[in-house]
Structure 1
Amino acid sequence: MAGDERDDDAVADISFVVPAQNEADYLPGCLASLTTLETASEYGVFVVDGDSSDDTPAIAREYGARVVHEAGESIAAARNLGAEHASGEWLAFIDADTRVRATYLTELLGFVAANRLAAASSYCRITGPHRAKVMEATINHVFSRLERPILPGFNCFVHRRAFEESGGFPEVPNEDTAFSRRFASRYPTAYCPTILVETSGRRIARSGLTGTLWHYLQLDRERLRTEY
Structure 2
Amino acid sequence: MDFSIIVPAFNEEKRIRACLESIKAQHTAHSYELIVSDSGSTDGTVSIAREYTDKVVVCKEKGTARARNEGAKLAGGDILVFIDSDTIVSPDYIDTVARAFKDPRLLAASCAFKFTRRSPKLLGAEYVTNAYYVLRSAFHAATLPGFNVCIRREAFEKLGGFRLCHLEDLDMSIKLRKMGRTKYLPRRVVVTSSRRLEQDGVLGTLKYYGDLFEASQGRRLGFEPVKLGESKFDDYVHRE
TM-score scaled to structure 1, two decimals? 0.89
Once the two structures are superposed, residues 81-105 of structure 1 have per-residue CA deviations (whole angstroms, 9 ceiling, x without a partner) of 1111111111110100100011111
**RMSD of Structure 2 on Structure 1 (CA):** 1.7
Q: Cα distance, 1:73 vs. partner?
A: 2.5
Superposed, which structure 2 residues align to 1:47-86 within 5 Å?
47-86=36-75
Q: 2:189 aligns with which of 180, 189, 196?
A: 196
Instruction: For 1:62 and 1:179, locate their aligned partners in 2 and report how far apart those are by CA, in whole Å.
Output: 31
What is the match of residue 126 of structure 2? 136
| SS of 2:19 mapped into structure 1 | helix
Which runs of no fewer than 5 residues in structure 1 stay unpaired?
1-11
Which of 176, 195, 218 lines up with 1:183 in the alignment? 176
Verify the 8 A CA contact 2:40 2:62 in the aligned structure 1: no
Q: Secondary structure at the match of 1:189?
A: strand
Unpaired runs of at least 5, structure 2: 221-240
Change (3 A) 1:37 1:163: same
Q: Does 1:125 align with 2:114?
A: yes
- 1:147-171 per-residue CA deviation (whole Å, 9 max, x = no partner) reads 3211111110111111111222112
1:212-223 pair list within 5 angstroms: 212-223=205-216
Mapping of 1:4-153 within 5 angstroms?
12-114=1-103, 116-128=105-117, 129-146=119-136, 147-153=140-146
1:172 Cα offset (Å): 2.1
SS in 1 for 2:22: helix
| Deviation readout 1:186-205 (Å, 9 max, x if unpaired) | 12111222111110101111
User: What secondary structure sits across from 1:113 in the alignment?
Assistant: coil
Q: Distance in 1 between matches of 2:141 and 2:60?
A: 32
Distance 1:83 1:118, change over 3 A: same
Deviation sequence 1:182-225 (CA, Å, 0-9, x none): 11101211122211111010111122222222111110111221
Contact 1:123 1:139 in 2 (8 A): no
SS at match of 1:45: strand
State the alpha-carbon separation in 2 of the partners of residues 211 and 22 from structure 1: 24
4+ aligned runs moved over 4 Å, structure 1: none
Paired positions, count: 216
Cα 1:138–1:74 shift into 2, 3 Å: farther
* In structure 2, C-alpha distance between the alignment counterparts of 1:41 and 1:75, rounded to whole Å: 27
Corresponding residue of 2:236: none
In 2, distance between residues paired with 1:69 and 1:90?
Answer: 22
Answering whether residue 154 of structure 2 is matched by residue 161 of structure 1, we say yes
User: Secondary structure of the residue that 1:54 maps to in structure 2?
Assistant: coil
Letter in 2 for 1:60: A
Judge conservation of contact 1:44–1:65 (CA < 8 Å) in 2. no
User: The residue matched to 1:83 in structure 2 has which SS?
Assistant: helix
Query: Structure 1 residues 126 and 72, CA, compared in 2 at 3 Å: closer, same or farther?
Result: farther
Shift of 1:226: 6.7
